[in-house]
Amino acid sequence: MVNATKGVFISCDIPMAQYIINMNASLPASDKFIIHILDNTHMFVQPHVEQMIRSRIAKFREDNTYVKPN
Amino acid sequence: MPEVRIIAKNFMDMVASMPAMKLDKLYENGFICEAILRSVPPLAKKYVIQMLHIDVPVAAKLLEEWVLPAGVSKHRVAIDRLVQLRVFLEAVDRKNEKTYKVNPTFQRSLQKLLVQGGTLPRESMPSNITVRLPTLENLEAYALEQWECFLLQLISPSQVEKPLNISSSLMKVFQRRILSHRDKEAPKLTESGFQFLLMDTNAQLWYIIREYISNSEDRGVDAADLISFMLELSFHVIGEAYSVDTLTSFQRTIINDLADLGLVKIQQGRKGSWFIPTKLATNLSMSLADSSSRKQGFVVVETNFRVYAYSTSKLHCEILRLFSRVEYQLPNLIVGAITKESLYSAYENGITAEQIVTFLQQNAHPRVAERVPSVPENVTEQIRLWEADLNRVEMTDTYYYDEFPSRDVFEGACDCAREWNGLLWEDSKKMHMVVKTEVHPYVRDYLRRQK
């Protein structure tokens, strides 16, 4: 019987993939979201975590920027 | 029937999309016929003039003999245009051959105009009443200033010192594709809105007028009357005064709206008021391709990402603020910097890196426009890289397939997903694959048929 699982397919560069894997590892077991790590640049994750990953990446980006005050 | 489907790109395309009865009514006015004649391709002009006094249908084949073989495509375009505008009426004669006949109403009106000459429905007022009319230079400056004030109110209402009289409902009509409204947030410029700002003045004017006319039926105004009046207006002389008191109340409303846009200037005298057409008004009957004039550039971008805009315009400042950090706003100079953060703010609004680069290149100050490149390459590349950085992670809704019973079923499923352009990833050893959510139903149906 063929099995089909719904989820989100992530395609990105290697450093970003490592960042996402590390994000997954730092969460408690009930919150882990990676279903399959397909290769260096692709992974398959839970359907509901797309927005969470995007906001975490955006926050990571913002932490490394500085805006000069007016 | 015309082979080209009508998409309204300019005024005349709106005319062409009107129903036949309204068009015939429109053509009772000789000046409108002249405006139509001005707007068509050169070959079409020749055909109209040539057939202006021919009352009987002319065979399509005969028309084709008037052009050299190399001109067949231009001939086709010209004929299609005339048929779209109902200047030529298409018919089939007794031999079952296609013929063209000049629209009788159009023919009569244009004949009368050319033979007898025409006077406008209203003449300019005598100069002893309208003392102190503005000069042509002042009038042009007024028109551009008014238009810019309108644009500023369109994209950034809070920046306007003295708001225009255009009703807020009409302003919303203009804004509906330019600004995006989210709950409890200030309106933000969309990708289309930024594209609108990149257009030259004439193209922007076409867009606004088109929205104005398209929305007219909602306001209980006949679009034909509106187009008729505007085309009439384009034949008035720039800088001459015409009495407002002779206008109907409907026309007076239009004149007030057009004054806000900068197409006319209204002046009040002791014995009444009058309006003065500007260059923008007379541009209405020109086709878009004819307007080759372009604004002079004002932006200098340096390799250190500093931006200097030599402009007195508040609108230019607001445009630059969309994607750069404006640090000083002096009377005739705007100083800013292109930063990663300001660009991210632009990208979040849907403005693209390519649009920003195009804007900077097209508005390069004359001193730097001659350089190659006019915008330093490190700046343009960095703008694109920062946009790419936002898109480093691609996420797609998908289904993950595994536990295939045999190699053949797996290969077949992969082929099926490939045919629907939905196969994103596969591992042929383990017989696993990932397909797009949209393609999942097709693969599922395929697998069911394999049982």
Tell me if A54 and B392 make a contact (CB, 8 A cut-off).
no
Interface test with A, best of B395, B397, B409 (most A CBs within 10 A): B395
Q: Which chain A residues contact residue B404 at CB under 8 A?
A: 2
Which pLDDT belongs to residue B334?
Answer: 92
Supply the pLDDT for residue B1. 32
**Cα–Cα distance for residue pair A9/B259, rounded to 1 Å:** 55
| Whether residues B195 and B104 fall in one domain | no
Q: Is B128 exposed, middle or buried (0-12, 13-18, 19+ CB in 10 A)?
A: exposed
Contact (Cβ atoms closer than 8 angstroms) between residue B61 and residue B100: no
pLDDT of residue B291: 43
| Dihedral sign (CA B433, B439, B445, B449) | negative
pLDDT at B392: 85
Residue A39: give its domain's CATH number: 3.30.70.1220
Residues B260 and B352 in one domain: no
| Among candidate residues B51, B85, B114, the one where a domain is terminated | B114
DSSP 8-state symbol, B120: -
Q: Is residue A68 part of a domain?
A: no
pLDDT at res. A54: 87
Host H or E run for residue B8: none
CB contact under 8 A, A10 and B394: yes
State both tokens at B294.
């372009």
**Dihedrals phi, psi of B57, to nearest 5 degrees:** -65, 145
User: From CA B303, how far away is CA B377, in angstroms rounded?
Assistant: 8
Residue B432, domain CATH: 3.30.70.2610
Helix H or strand E encompassing B216: none
Q: How many helices (H) and strands (E) does chain B have?
A: 21, 15
Most distant CA atoms of chain B, gap in Å: 98
Q: Determine, yes or no, domain membership for B98.
A: yes
Residue B129's contacts (CB-CB under 8 Å, 6 or more residues apart) are B269, B271, B272
The stretches of B51-122 forming alpha helices (DSSP H) are 60-64, 72-84, 104-116
Mean pLDDT of chain B: 80
Last residue of a domain, one of B389, B404, B430: B389
Nearest partner of A40 among A22, A19, A20, A13, judged by Cα: A13
What's the CA gap between B213 and B224, in Å, rounded?
Answer: 9
Specify if A59 maps to a domain: yes
Q: How many domains does chain B contain in total?
A: 4
Residue B179 lies in a domain: yes
A40 vs B contacts (CB less than 8 Å): none
Position B441, amino acid: P
B interface with A, Cβ–Cβ below 8 Å: 339-341, 389, 392-405, 409, 413, 424-425, 427, 432, 434, 437, 440, 444, 447
Residues 33 through 62 of chain A touching chain B, CB cutoff 8 Å: 35-36, 38, 42, 44, 47, 50, 53-54, 57, 61
- Mark whether B265 and B170 lie in a shared domain: yes
pLDDT at B3 (0 to 100)? 33
Nearest CA in chain B to A4: B401
Partner-chain contact B396 A47, CB within 8 Å = no
Count of structural domains within chain A: 1
| Residue from the list A9, A47, A61 with its beta carbon closest to the beta carbon of B434 | A9
Q: Are residues B264 and B309 in the same domain?
A: no
CA dihedral B37→B42→B44→B48, nearest 10 degrees, is 60
**pLDDT per residue over A16-58, tens digit each?**
899 999 989 998 888 888 888 888 999 999 988 888 888 888 8
Contacts of A49 in chain B (CB under 8 A): none
If asked whether residues B268 and B308 sit together in one domain, one would say no
Of B388, B320, B321, nearest to B354 by C-alpha is B388
Range of the domain at B320: 297-389
Together in a domain, B242 and B333:
no
A23: domain range? 8-63
Flag whether A3 is in a domain: no
Same structural domain, B215 and B348: no
Are B436 and B364 part of one and the same domain?
no
Query: Is A2 within the bounds of a domain?
Result: no
Q: Per the domain annotation, does A42 fall within a domain?
A: yes
Question: Which uninterrupted H or E stretch holds A11?
Answer: strand A3-11
- Axis-axis angle for helices B249-261, B223-233 (nearest 10): 60
**Residue reference for tokens 């594709």:** B177
Residue B351 to residue B36: CA distance in whole angstroms: 37
Encoded amino acid at B275, one letter: F
A69 touches chain B (CB under 8 A): no
Residue B1 domain-assigned?
no
Whether B265 and B237 map to the same domain: the answer is yes
Q: Where are the alpha helices (DSSP H) in B215-330?
A: 223-233, 249-261, 279-282, 314-323
A57 found inside a domain: yes
Task: Measure CB to CB from residue B393 to each of A3, A7, A12 and give the nearest one.
Answer: A12
* Helix (H/G/I), strand (E/B), else coil: B349: coil
What pLDDT was estimated at residue B284? 67
Give yes or no: residues B346 and B261 share one domain: no
User: What CATH number has the domain bearing residue B87?
Assistant: 1.10.10
Q: Do residues B208 and B153 share a domain?
A: yes
Residue B231, domain member (yes or no): yes
Last residue within a domain, chosen from B371, B389, B407? B389
In a domain, B4, yes or no: no
| Same domain membership, residue B169 and residue B242 | yes
Residue A39 covered by a domain: yes
How confident is chain B (451 residues) per 10-residue block, as mean pLDDT? 40 73 80 81 87 85 85 87 86 83 87 76 67 76 80 72 68 72 64 73 76 76 77 76 79 81 79 79 58 68 93 84 89 92 85 87 85 88 89 89 87 88 88 90 86 69
